[in-house]
Structure 1
Amino acid sequence: MSSSLVVCEVDESLKAKLSKFRFRKETNNAAILMKIDMVKQLVILEEEYEDISLDELRNELPERQPRYPS
């Protein structure tokens, strides 16, 4: 028997945004920055970037907080 452990839910509006982001047609660089709301145990949108270079994105991210690329 298989079971799954759910630690955090994903905000419904973020799910829609992620789906749209994943299948977007634009060829420029874009990123979605998410964070976990510890009180609500919910993954939420923190910031959205459009037409950003990798160096600019790297400079936007805090150095001392973990980031997980996907």
Structure 2
Amino acid sequence: MQPFSFATTPHLLCEPGAAGRLAQLCQQRSVRRVLIVTDPGIVNLGMLDDLLPGFTQARLSVAIFSEVSADP
């Protein structure tokens, strides 16, 4: 195996209802545009439906890229 380095976000939030606060958290960090990367199954199951209205209310631009292979 080749050595590698992996850096992830400095802040992870894991609590009930956290997805519903995503737009608010982005707004607090002065984010203007959001890209959600997922697979088609998540979209087809409606798992984004509860969080997307928050972006509209916060007036944040959001795009969804759902062409990722599930469990690659």
Tell me if both proteins adopt one fold, taking TM over 0.5 as the criterion: no
Structure richer in strand, relative to its length: 1
TM-score by length of 2: 0.23
TM-score by length of 1: 0.23
Higher relative contact order (CA 8 A, sep 6+): 2
